[in-house]
Amino acid sequence: MLEEVIQSLRTDRRFMSSVAHWEVIPPRKGRYEDFPAEIDGRILAAVRAKGIERLFSHQGQAYAEVRRGNNIVVVTPTASGKTLAYNLPVLQTLIEQPQAKAMYMFPTKALSQDQQSELNEILLGGEIPVRIFTYDGDTPRSIRISVREEGRVVITNPDMLHTGVLPNHTKWIKFFQSLRFIVIDEIHTYRGVFGSHMTNLIRRLKRICAFYGAKPQFICCSATIGNPQGLAEKIVEEPVTLIAENGAPAGERHFVFYNPPLVDAVQGIRRGVVKESQRLATNLLKAKVKTIVFARSRLRSELIAGYIRESLKNLYTDDSRITVASYRGGYLPNERRKIERGLRSGEIQGVVSTNALELGIDIGGLDASILAGFPGTIASTWQQAGRAGRRASVSLSILVASASPIDQYILRHPEYFFGSSPESGWVDPDNIYILSDQLKCAVFELPFDEAEELAQSYREVLDYLEEHGVIRYTEGKWFWSDRSYPAEKVSLRSSAPGNIVIVDTTQGRQTVIGEMDKPSAKLLLYDEAIYIHQGDQYIVKKLDLENQRCYVEDTADNYYTDSIVKTDIKVLEQDSRETLSGMDAVIGDILVRTQATKFKKLKFGTHENIGYGEIDLPPEEMHTRSVVLLFVAGSDAGRAFARQSELEQPIIMQRLGTLIRNIAPVFLLCDPRDLGVSERLKDTVFHCPALYVYDNYPGGTGLSEGFLENAVAILRGALELVTECSCAQGCPSCIGPVGAETMGAAAAGSEEAARNRLGNPKESIRAFLASWLGKTE
């Protein structure tokens, strides 16, 4: 089926004229091992009942390493049977040792539920005496006691471990005493600030296990990233054996880079990503190809799904029986489960998703994936593309480029994408904000003894906490000495809890149809906004932020809405200003304000603008820490900047921002998303060119301070990167791809002309940095 479709695409001249690159990744044969002889007959029967007769080599290897007592990290693509790689050794051990327990940790609740049903399948199939429970915020109080007392495998998430389990560990004695395995799935999600919290959380977990005399083994799984072993070892702080050789077979994969056709060749305007992705997906679905489309926002996922349904509706053939769902955050759990089941069973043939389906939720095998725009990282791109493709058959992935410079760069330079390794994940468990918060939680759970290794490493921090009276030092021990419950005030993630509940009030109904986090609600659920949910349109009657409710009603309007968002930065407090490396650096508090003030009404189909509306909502404010780099007139940096032509100065500022965003995470051990960067050619507070680098977390997490501390190294690193990057005029890895300035600054003349006038931006920025930093050598 798909083979034929691929053949016909190959010969479709119209399609091929838009194809920038067509990569064929050859099929890979599976490498197999027999089940180890020792495996319990009941497990074997259950696994065989699922049609599994042999193990893939990586599953066999994982089994052997775990049974040998080693920590492991398994890194193989989606659908390669990672789950069995850990379920097999865990269940075998749990059967052999009737007391042994295991904890499974997943980054989201959705994944936990998925895992529970997967495990139940194995367990219900046979007669394996192992009780599995999920323990998270949704677990009813009435069964929590049995989870603690009887659970052999407890599935949870880091947030629940942090606020619910560890602070109450005395209720879990039985569990911790005999905890043998800790499974951390999707370990690649624990990067940056979240990952730094995670490392500390694992430290706390290990302390509690040690208290009860247990020393569990770690089994980690990761999607493809640059440094899986490094990241796993950073998070569990023990040696970890890497298992990266994928033994699962894979069919041939066709990866097509598709650039929508030009609509206006002079201005370089192309057809939109939404319409093109919809068109491609519709054609695939009509040809009976099961397809997943990844959209870059919730709104887009609903739009694309709606368009696909619309274009299928007009068919008076069998094709109209094709069911297409949208899938994104904010759906109620039941609705999500239903879609996942539908995809597995084949009742649903197409799905349009945000990155919510990027992680390992089991949706069965799909044939094709369409990426509506570059997902932002190489790792995500592979992960999303990997959602299509079964073991034995051919698969197709199409990356539909948007007009953004990064998308266009990747299309022009496929070798960049296929040649680079995926991004690495960094963590900095010693980040002082995170560390001090986490140590409070640790002392709460168990007093620190001077002899303890952690106490010795972080004695200064403990002293510091003691000075502030939350812990008390006597006779060689630190005791929790505050009335509060510290875990409650420490959030592992940036987004604060507390969702807005969306209520359908059409004709007096009071039905909850979905939910959304507060910052997003302000941008998507303002009064009169059109909210699209699984293809149904609603108009927002009232967003009640105080009571966390949004009331909507059915509507049949022919438009959707999109808000216009403004972000501005206000300097609240300057703590210090110092001169270093020929520039001035200010550190202090800023207020980052994001506000939607207006919205556009856009006609479905044509996307033409048919009106505006006002939004009257308070801005979303984040009070955080920032470091501001100032190129003051007369300083080395200022003089180097003044030397550049006035035309180039704005470009240099903008490019420097991208460059810093690319290089700083390497020095700060954070994730690029943990940092905000904002450039000002003429700053109104400091009256000179200024570059703001700030913590993307309320209150700050010490990244700004870290930046200041490492400023010289970071700037030198930036110069080195821009000098050594192998691209010609800029690429996503250094200063950003060419095209960025022609988009923003000069619409006059063609792309080409603008570039000629401006010269090579990479050269300009290199010259600027060299002339500045050269002076301060």
Partner 1 sequence: MSLEKRLRYLERAWQQRLEQQQGQPEGRDARRDTVPRSEHLFAPQQGWEQVGRYTLRRQLQFPSSLAKTGISEFLLPSGYTSEDLLFFDTETTGLSGGAGNSIFLMGMAWIEGDGLNVEQVFLQDFPGEVEFLSRLAERLNRHRVFVSYNGRAFDAHVLRTRFVLNRMSFDLEHQTDLLYWSRRLWRRVLPDCSLATIEREILGIRRELDVAGFEVPGIYLEYLRSGSPGRLDAVLEHNLQDVRTLAELLIVVNSILSAGNTIPAAEAGATEAGAAAPSHRADRTALGSFFLSRDERWGIDLLKESFSAGDDGAGRALSLYYKRAGAWEEAVDLWKRMALKRRSLFAAVELAKYFEHRERNAALALEWVQTILSWRLPLDRRIRVELNHRRRRLMKKLGRRVSKS
Residues engaged in binding partner 1 (CB under 8 A)? 167-171, 173, 430-433, 436, 443-447, 458, 460-461, 464, 466-469, 472-475, 477, 479-486, 488, 573, 575, 589, 625, 700, 702, 705-706, 709-710
The least CB distance from residue 178 to partner 1, in Å, is 16
The least CB distance from residue 590 to partner 1, in Å, is 13
Nearest alpha-carbon partner for 566 in 612, 598, 613: 598
Are 649 and 641 a contacting pair, CB within 8 Å? yes
What string of DSSP letters covers 67-85? HTT--EEEE--TTS-HHHH
The least CB distance from residue 177 to partner 1, in Å, is 11
Q: What's the number of CA atoms in the CB half-sphere (13 Å) around residue 403?
A: 17
What string of DSSP letters covers 246-287? --S-B--EEEEEE-PPEEETTTTEE--HHHHHHHHHHHHHHT
Nearest alpha-carbon partner for 310 in 285, 346, 344: 285
For residue 622, CA distances in Å to 470, 495, 571 come to 27, 11, 12
**Can you give the length of the chain in residues?**
777
Are 52 and 122 a contacting pair, CB within 8 Å? no
The least CB distance from residue 709 to partner 1, in Å, is 4
Question: In this complex, which beta carbon is closest to partner 1, that of residue 416 or of residue 667?
Answer: 667
Alpha carbons 10 and 8: distance in angstroms, whole number: 5
Q: For residue 565, which phi and psi values (nearest 5 degrees)?
A: -105, 135
The least CB distance from residue 460 to partner 1, in Å, is 6
The least CB distance from residue 690 to partner 1, in Å, is 21
- Determine the 3-state secondary structure of 630 from DSSP: strand
The least CB distance from residue 321 to partner 1, in Å, is 36
The least CB distance from residue 671 to partner 1, in Å, is 18
Question: In this complex, which beta carbon is closest to partner 1, that of residue 466 or of residue 517?
Answer: 466
Question: In this complex, which beta carbon is closest to partner 1, that of residue 479 or of residue 604?
Answer: 479
Question: In this complex, which beta carbon is closest to partner 1, that of residue 167 or of residue 375?
Answer: 167
Question: In this complex, which beta carbon is closest to partner 1, that of residue 33 or of residue 430?
Answer: 430
The least CB distance from residue 131 to partner 1, in Å, is 23
Question: In this complex, which beta carbon is closest to partner 1, that of residue 486 or of residue 638?
Answer: 486
Question: In this complex, which beta carbon is closest to partner 1, that of residue 126 or of residue 164?
Answer: 164
Question: In this complex, which beta carbon is closest to partner 1, that of residue 13 or of residue 141?
Answer: 141
Q: For residue 223, what are the contacts with CB-CB under 8 A and spacing of at least 6? A: 75, 77, 78, 186, 188, 359, 360, 379, 382, 383
Question: In this complex, which beta carbon is closest to partner 1, that of residue 447 or of residue 676?
Answer: 447
For residue 28, CA distances in Å to 247, 251, 391, 457 come to 9, 7, 9, 48
Query: In the block, which residue shows the tokens 């042999």?
Result: 54
Are 444 and 490 a contacting pair, CB within 8 Å? no
And the tokens for 581? 């490396």
Please give the DSSP secondary-structure letter assigned to residue 610.
E
Q: What's the number of CA atoms in the CB half-sphere (13 Å) around residue 373?
A: 21
Question: In this complex, which beta carbon is closest to partner 1, that of residue 315 or of residue 580?
Answer: 580
Nearest alpha-carbon partner for 374 in 404, 413, 419: 404
Query: In the block, which residue shows the tokens 């010969």?
Result: 11
Nearest alpha-carbon partner for 440 in 468, 475, 480: 480
Question: In this complex, which beta carbon is closest to partner 1, that of residue 55 or of residue 193?
Answer: 193
Alpha carbons 301 and 235: distance in angstroms, whole number: 34
Question: In this complex, which beta carbon is closest to partner 1, that of residue 75 or of residue 441?
Answer: 441
- Determine the 3-state secondary structure of 327 from DSSP: strand
The least CB distance from residue 337 to partner 1, in Å, is 27
Alpha carbons 80 and 56: distance in angstroms, whole number: 8
Residue burial 365-388, b: 16+ Cβ < 10 Å; e: rest: bbbbbbbbbbbebbbbbbbbbbbb
Query: In the block, which residue shows the tokens 């302390």?
Result: 207
Nearest alpha-carbon partner for 773 in 637, 571, 635: 637
CB atoms within 10 A of CB 625: 23
Question: In this complex, which beta carbon is closest to partner 1, that of residue 257 or of residue 480?
Answer: 480
Are 547 and 539 a contacting pair, CB within 8 Å? no
The least CB distance from residue 497 to partner 1, in Å, is 18
Residue burial 134-166, b: 16+ Cβ < 10 Å; e: rest: bbbeebeeeeeeebbeebbbbbbbbbbbbbbbb
Question: In this complex, which beta carbon is closest to partner 1, that of residue 76 or of residue 624?
Answer: 624
Question: In this complex, which beta carbon is closest to partner 1, that of residue 432 or of residue 591?
Answer: 432
Q: What's the number of CA atoms in the CB half-sphere (13 Å) around residue 6?
A: 19
Q: For residue 145, what are the contacts with CB-CB under 8 A and spacing of at least 6? A: none
Question: In this complex, which beta carbon is closest to partner 1, that of residue 179 or of residue 410?
Answer: 179
The least CB distance from residue 665 to partner 1, in Å, is 15
Question: In this complex, which beta carbon is closest to partner 1, that of residue 6 or of residue 503?
Answer: 503
The least CB distance from residue 480 to partner 1, in Å, is 4
Query: In the block, which residue shows the tokens 């003044």?
Result: 642
The least CB distance from residue 700 to partner 1, in Å, is 7
The least CB distance from residue 312 to partner 1, in Å, is 38
The least CB distance from residue 589 to partner 1, in Å, is 8
Query: In the block, which residue shows the tokens 């199409």?
Result: 398
The least CB distance from residue 756 to partner 1, in Å, is 44
